[in-house]
Structure 1
Amino acid sequence: MSWFSPSRLVPSRLVPSLPPYSGPYPVGSCDVELSAADLPSPGSPPPNAPATIAFRLFYPAAGSGPSRPIRWLPSPQKAHFAAYARFLGAGSLLSTAVSLAPNVLYYTTIPARRNAPLLHPPGPAWPVLVFSHGLAGSRNAYSALLGELASHGIIVVAPEHRDGSAPMAFVRAPDGGASTSVSYQIHPHKPTAEVYAARDAQVRIRGWEIGVLYAALEKIGEGAEMRNLDPNLGVGGVEEDVLGSFVGRLDLRPGRVAWAGHSFGAATVVTVVKSAYYGGEEMGGPFIPARDAGIVRQITKSSVLALLDMWALPLTSPSAEQFFEKQLPAYEPGGAGGKAVLSVLSEAFWRWHGNLNDTKVVLAPRTAVSDDDEKVEQERRGPYIFYPEASAHLSQSDFGILFPWITGRVLKATEPERYLRLNVRAILQVLRENGTVVAGYSPLEGEEPLDGGGEGKKGGDWRILNPEGGVRGWLPVDMEVTSEDRRMSIGEETGGRNDEVRETEVLGDVKL
C-alpha cells in the first residue's frame, strides 16, 4: 500500500469522491500540452495568446493493470488549492469547507485509468466531443460528466483555457524554460463597455485555443510526431506514449465533431460554431478564423451543440451583434435542424429571466415557415431545451457531487449524481438522433422501463428528449420569445433577486 494512499493519512470515507462511470467501456484519461507554434493557427494569434494549448482526454480504454491515480486537484496542488480559495473568498461557504480540510481534496481522484491506450473502436473511428469549461472551471472540473460520456463510447476533449477564466493555469515553456502562470481575472458582472471589452478579449483567446486544439486533433489522428510537454508519467515515473493509440481512430469528418460547454464555455462554442460557419473579416466579432482553417472545414449545418447553462452575456457584446442575430447553422436550409441543438438549464438559470430570454433568442430559428412544408419545418424546429427541478448552476460541474451538503443546504439543489446523469442521457440521445453511434440505452442508466415505445419503437433513450416522456423532475422550457422578452436581456435587467445567480460559473456565488 502506498504511503500516500488516503487510508494511511486520511480515512477514505472523508475524501470527496466521484462515482464510477456506468457505461460499458472502461475509461482512460491523459493530460496533453502542445506547443502552439508547432500547430497550424486558425488565424492571427490574439494578444496574450498562450505559448501552448493544454487539454485532458477522456476516452474508451484498453488494457489493464496498475496505474497511477489521477488527482482531481491538478499539480501543483498547493497552488491550485490556493487559487480556488482566493476565487471563493473568505465569505464563501465553499471556501470555508474546502479550507477546513485541504489535505482531503488532495486525495480526490478521477475514476479513470491514467495513460491507458485507446480501445480499438467497434466501427471505423470513435466519435469526438469538445467541451469548453466555464469561469473558475478547468479541464478536471467536469470529470464526472465527461468521463461518463467517454464510458459510452466517445473521445471527449476538455481544453484548459488560459484566458484568465480558470482559478489558476500554468503554461509550460516549449523550450524547456520556466513555466508561467495565468491567474483568474475578476471583472464586474454588469454589461458595461469595459466588461464587454474584457470578455471579448477572453472569447478571442478561447476561440483561438479551440481552433488550435482542433488542428492538434487532426495532427494526432494523422499520426504526426507530437511532443507532449506534459510528462504525464505512469507507474515508476515511466513516460508512456498514449497519443500513438489515437492514430486513425478519431472521427473528424466535416460536421461530425460535437461541441459542448458549460456557461461561459457554452457561449464560447456558440461563438466558435457561428464564427467558423458565417465568419470572415466583414462579419467582425471577437474570433475570426481564417477561411482555410481546419475548424472552418469541420463546422457544418450538421454540427451538434450541447449547451449547459449557457451564460449569454458574452454573446450580447456589441462586437458580436451580427453573430447574435444570426441563427445557428443547424437551422440553415438543408441543415440538421433543432434536433442537433440541446440546451440543458439548471433551475437557477431557468429562473434568471434576462439570461433565459437571451438564451432563447440565441437558440431560436430566425425564419418562420409554413406548416405544410414538413422538411423545412424540421430544419427550423426549435432546439431541445429542458431543466431539472432543484438544480443549481454548479450542479453541472463536479462540485455538486463533491460537496452535496453545501449545494443542498445553500442552493437547495438535490440529487447531484442524478442531475448529471440526466445531462449525460440527453447528450447521448441527441448524438444518437444525429447519426452518432454510442453505447445503447439500458434500464440501469434510466428510471423508466424499456417498454414498447422505447428501444423497439422510437429508439434509444427516447423519453429524455420527449416533453411527455415521463422523466421525473425533467421539465421542458417554452421557447416562445415575445418582443417584450427580447427587450429584457441581461443588459436590461436591474439588480433584483435573479441577478444573484451570478456569472461566477462553476462555483457560483455561494455566500453564507
Structure 2
Amino acid sequence: MTSLLSRFSPIPYFPPYKGPYEVGTLDIELPVSPFIDSGLSPPCPSHSDIPTVQFRLFYPAALKGQATADGSQSGATWIPSPRKEYVAAYCKFAGAGDFLANVLSYIPRHVYYIKLPVHPAHPILPESNAGDRFPVVIFSHGLAGTRNTYSYLTASLASHGAVVLCPEHRDGSAPASFIREPRHKSGLSELQKQNHPNHKGAENTPSLANVPDGVPRTPSSSGSDSEDDKNVNSNTCPLKTTGKSLNSKDEKQTIRRVDYISQPHEISTATATIRNKQLEIRLWELGVLFAVVKTLNSGLEGMDITDDFHVFPSATTNKTKNTNTKCPSTLQLLQMFKNRLDISTGGVTWMGHSFGGATITQFVKSCWYAPLFRQNGELKDPLYVPSDTLTRHFHPDGEIGERSRAPATVLLDTWCLPLLGDRTRALWKRRLPGPTLGILSFQFYKWKENLRGFRHVMSRKGGAFEEQWFGDAQDERNEQVTPSLPKLDRSSSMDVTPQLPTGFSHSDEAKLQSGEKDVVEEDEEENSLSLKRTASRVSQRSMPGQPDRRLYYATGSAHMSQSDFGVLFPRSARYFTKVDDSEGVLDLNVRALVEFMRERGLNMTPFAEGVERDREIFGEGVVKGWEVVSLELGEEGKAKKKVEEEKKIALVDGDVVKGRRGSTKL
C-alpha cells in the first residue's frame, strides 16, 4: 500500500533495495586530530585546512520487515542539511548565478522531503555466529557528488550484508560542503595558524590566501545545521569565521562552507596541478576513513573524540536538533561496530565513480607501492604517503612480500584525465595490484579516448604513459572553429558528467548530444556479436600470477545512471539522457558488485534469493542490457600506434636524407 501511495505523491521516492536486510544509517562528522596524533593518518595537505571528515554510513540493520516492527524510526533526508544551501549549490552547478540559485532553492520545496528508505541509528544486525563480521566498502563520489548522491547503489550493498562508508570530499568537487570546526584540533591548529595571511612569516609558508586561482581551498562562512536558518553568509577570507551556536547559548561552533570550484578540463600543466591538489585532499580523506573503520572495529579504543563527534539529526533516534554527543546513546551507537567489521585486506573493497574512480585508482596504488618507492626513490613528489598502519594493512611485513595481499577495487565510469599529470606518471605506469571490476555506462563506453585510458588503468601490465595522450584529437580540434563545435547540453543538474575535455571527438560528442543508442551492437549480426563477446571474455580470462580483471558496460545508460538522479527523476532521465530504465541499470550494477565480492569469499547474500552463485552476470551467456568489454587497447589504440610508427620511420628517413650524424639507416 505504501508503495502504491508513493506513486501518486509529488515527492520523488526510491525503489526498495533488493537485498534481504533492512538498512541502517548514520550521518557522521568527526575530528581528524585523534587519528593524526595517534599516527593512524598523516596531517592534511598543507594547502588546505580540513579538521574533520564527514561521511554517510550504511549497514545491515535487520531482516526485511523487522526494523519497523520494533518501532524504530524510518527515513533520512536525501538532501543533506542545510538543505536550502545544497539545493542552491546544485542550481549554481547547473549554471545559475548566485541570485537565481538562491531564488530557485525556494521553489522545489518537495525535494526537501525526499527520504532514504533506511532506518537511522538502528542497531546493527545481530550476530548469527560467533565472529560474524561484515565486509567493508569505502566509496568515493564524483564531481557534484555528496555523501548521499550514490545512496541507492551503496545502501543496496548494505542490504546484501556490507558496511559502506561514503565520504563527502572537501576538495571543491561537491556542490557544497560544510565543515564544523572542532574545539580540539591538536596539531592542526598550528597548521591553521601558519596558513593565516596575518601570520608572521606567512610569506614563506604555503598560505591558503595566496594559493593560485583555481587551486582547491576551504573558504569560511557561518552556517547552521538547520534548513530553516537564513543566516548562512559567505565570507571571502579563508580563515575568518563567525561563531554559530548549535547546542546551547554557551557553546559556540563555527561552520565553514566549501563551494564547488569550476575547473578547466583541458589537458595542460595548469589543469594537472589543479587536479593533483584536489587528489591530495581526496586521497588523504580516504586514508582517514580507513583509520575510522579501524577505530570503530576496536570499539573506539584509545580514542577521545566524544567532545567533537557529531551524529546529525537525521541519524538520531529522536527529533531533537541537539548534537551534544556526550549522551550514552551516541556512544552506544558507535560501540555496536566493535569487532563486527572485516578489516582484513580482502574484506575492504575500494570503490569510486568518475573522479572518484580516478581517486581510488591513485589511492590503492599509492598505498600498495609505498614500500617500493621508499626504497628506490622513484616517486619524487607523491600525492599521498600512507601511514605505517595503512601500509601494513596491505603489507604486514612493511614491504611487498609473500604475506602481502592486494586490495580489490571497483571502478565505475572512471574519468582518466586527473591521472595524466607528471606527478601521477610513476603510478600510472604501475598496474592495479588486486582484482578489479570496471563498469561503464554506455555514454563512457562510447567516449573512445577515455575508454582507451581506462583500458590502461585496467591493464594487467600497467599503463603506457603517452606524452600526447589526446594529441590526435587536439590537432583535429585545432583545425576547426571552436564555436561551431556542438556542446553537450548541461542545462540540467541531472547531468553530472565531467565537462568533456580536449580529445573527445566531434562525432562522439554529437552522438552523446543526440542520445544515440547502442546502434553498433544492435545492427551487428548475432554471429559477429557472439565472436566479439567471446574475444572480450578471452581478454579477461584469469591468468596465473596476474590479478583478475572484469570490464562491462550497461547498454542504454548515461554517466549519471550510477548515481541516484535517474531513479529519483526517471522522466527527466528519459528526457535529458535518453535512459529508459534507470532502476534496471542500477540493479545490474548492484548485481555485478555483489557477485564480485562473493567471488572473493566475502560474506554477502546473493542478489537473487535462493541462488548459490550468480554465474550469469560474469558468465558465457547473455544478460539483457549487460555487455562485456575487451581489455585489449582497441582499434583506436592500434591506429595511434601505427601513426607513431610512421612518424618514427619518417624521422629516420629524414635523418638519412639530411645526413644527420648518428642516424640509423634502414
Q: Report the TM-score when normalising by structure 2.
A: 0.64
- In structure 2, which of residues 612, 617, 621 is the aligned counterpart of residue 469 of structure 1? 621
Is residue 418 of structure 2 the alignment partner of residue 314 of structure 1? yes
Q: Relative to 1, partners in 2 of residues 1:486 and 1:400: Cα closer, same or farther, differing over 3 Å?
A: farther
Q: Secondary structure at the match of 2:17?
A: coil
Q: Is the 8 A contact 1:49 1:205 kept in 2?
A: no
Q: Look up the match of 1:510.
A: none
- In structure 2, which of residues 97, 122, 126 is the aligned counterpart of residue 120 of structure 1? 126
Structure 2 CA distance for aligned equivalents of residues 42 and 352 of structure 1: 37
Q: Secondary structure at the match of 1:401?
A: helix
Is residue 310 of structure 2 the alignment partner of residue 229 of structure 1? yes
Correspondence 1:72-151 to 2 at 5 A: 72-90=78-96, 101-123=107-129, 124=131, 125-151=133-159
Q: Is the 8 A contact 1:256 1:302 kept in 2?
A: no
Q: Deviations over 1:13-44 (max 9, x none)?
A: 11111111121111000111110111135334
Correspondence 1:229-268 to 2 at 5 A: 229-232=310-313, 233-237=316-320, 240-241=329-330, 242-268=333-359
Structure 2 CA distance for aligned equivalents of residues 486 and 200 of structure 1: 30
Between stretches 16-25 and 99-108, larger displacement belongs to 99-108
Structure 2 CA distance for aligned equivalents of residues 298 and 57 of structure 1: 23
Q: Relative to 1, partners in 2 of residues 1:134 and 1:208: Cα closer, same or farther, differing over 3 Å?
A: same
Aligned pair count reads 450
Q: Look up the match of 1:54.
A: 54
Q: Is the 8 A contact 1:132 1:268 kept in 2?
A: yes
Q: Secondary structure at the match of 1:463?
A: coil
Q: Is the 8 A contact 2:85 2:105 kept in 1?
A: no
Q: Deviations over 1:78-128 (max 9, x none)?
A: 11111011011149xxx99x8695111101011100111111244521111
Q: Secondary structure at the match of 2:174?
A: coil
Amino acid at match of 1:106: Y
Structure 2 CA distance for aligned equivalents of residues 361 and 486 of structure 1: 13
Q: Look up the match of 1:505.
A: none
Cα RMSD between the aligned structures? Answer: 2.9
Structure 1 CA distance for aligned equivalents of residues 21 and 543 of structure 2: 38
Q: Relative to 1, partners in 2 of residues 1:358 and 1:307: Cα closer, same or farther, differing over 3 Å?
A: same
Is residue 556 of structure 2 the alignment partner of residue 390 of structure 1? yes
Q: Is the 8 A contact 1:16 1:108 kept in 2?
A: yes
How big is the shift at 1:317? 1.6
Between stretches 48-57 and 220-229, larger displacement belongs to 220-229
Q: Relative to 1, partners in 2 of residues 1:38 and 1:430: Cα closer, same or farther, differing over 3 Å?
A: same
By relative contact order (CA 8 Å, sep 6+), the higher-ranking structure is: 1
Q: Look up the match of 1:276.
A: 367
Is residue 106 of structure 2 the alignment partner of residue 23 of structure 1? no
How big is the shift at 1:284? 4.1
How big is the shift at 1:404? 1.4
Q: Secondary structure at the match of 1:461?
A: coil
Q: Deviations over 1:376-419 (max 9, x none)?
A: 82433661111111100001000011111122122111210011
Structure 2 CA distance for aligned equivalents of residues 196 and 122 of structure 1: 49
Amino acid at match of 1:85: C
Structure 1 CA distance for aligned equivalents of residues 640 and 155 of structure 2: 37
Amino acid at match of 2:265: H
Q: Deviations over 1:304-338 (max 9, x none)?
A: 111111111111121100110101112xxxxxxxx
Q: Is the 8 A contact 1:440 1:460 kept in 2?
A: yes
Q: Relative to 1, partners in 2 of residues 1:484 and 1:346: Cα closer, same or farther, differing over 3 Å?
A: closer
Correspondence 1:371-410 to 2 at 5 A: 377-380=543-546, 383-410=549-576
Q: Is the 8 A contact 2:74 2:118 kept in 1?
A: no
Q: Secondary structure at the match of 2:553?
A: strand
Amino acid at match of 2:592: A
Q: Relative to 1, partners in 2 of residues 1:162 and 1:442: Cα closer, same or farther, differing over 3 Å?
A: same
Amino acid at match of 1:309: D
Amino acid at match of 2:614: D
Q: Secondary structure at the match of 1:14?
A: coil
Q: Relative to 1, partners in 2 of residues 1:472 and 1:100: Cα closer, same or farther, differing over 3 Å?
A: farther
- In structure 2, which of residues 276, 284, 291 is the aligned counterpart of residue 200 of structure 1? 276
Amino acid at match of 2:418: P
Q: Is the 8 A contact 2:460 2:547 kept in 1?
A: yes
Identity among equivalent positions (%) equals: 36
Q: Secondary structure at the match of 2:336?
A: helix
Correspondence 1:355-434 to 2 at 5 A: 355-366=450-461, 377-380=543-546, 383-434=549-600
Q: Relative to 1, partners in 2 of residues 1:465 and 1:121: Cα closer, same or farther, differing over 3 Å?
A: farther
Q: Look up the match of 2:652.
A: none
Correspondence 1:203-218 to 2 at 5 A: 203-218=279-294
Structure 1 CA distance for aligned equivalents of residues 583 and 542 of structure 2: 38
Q: Is the 8 A contact 1:425 1:464 kept in 2?
A: yes
Structure 1 CA distance for aligned equivalents of residues 446 and 392 of structure 2: 35
Q: Relative to 1, partners in 2 of residues 1:254 and 1:16: Cα closer, same or farther, differing over 3 Å?
A: same
Structure 1 CA distance for aligned equivalents of residues 422 and 284 of structure 2: 20
Q: Secondary structure at the match of 1:255?
A: helix
Q: Look up the match of 2:211.
A: none
Q: Is the 8 A contact 1:307 1:342 kept in 2?
A: yes
Q: Relative to 1, partners in 2 of residues 1:356 and 1:235: Cα closer, same or farther, differing over 3 Å?
A: same
Q: Secondary structure at the match of 1:58?
A: strand
Q: Is the 8 A contact 1:357 1:486 kept in 2?
A: no
How big is the shift at 1:214? 0.8
Q: Look up the match of 2:34.
A: 38
Q: Is the 8 A contact 2:344 2:393 kept in 1?
A: no
Q: Which runs of 5+ in 2 are unaligned?
A: 184-251, 396-403, 463-540, 645-666
Q: Report the TM-score when normalising by structure 1.
A: 0.82
Q: Is the 8 A contact 1:363 1:382 kept in 2?
A: no
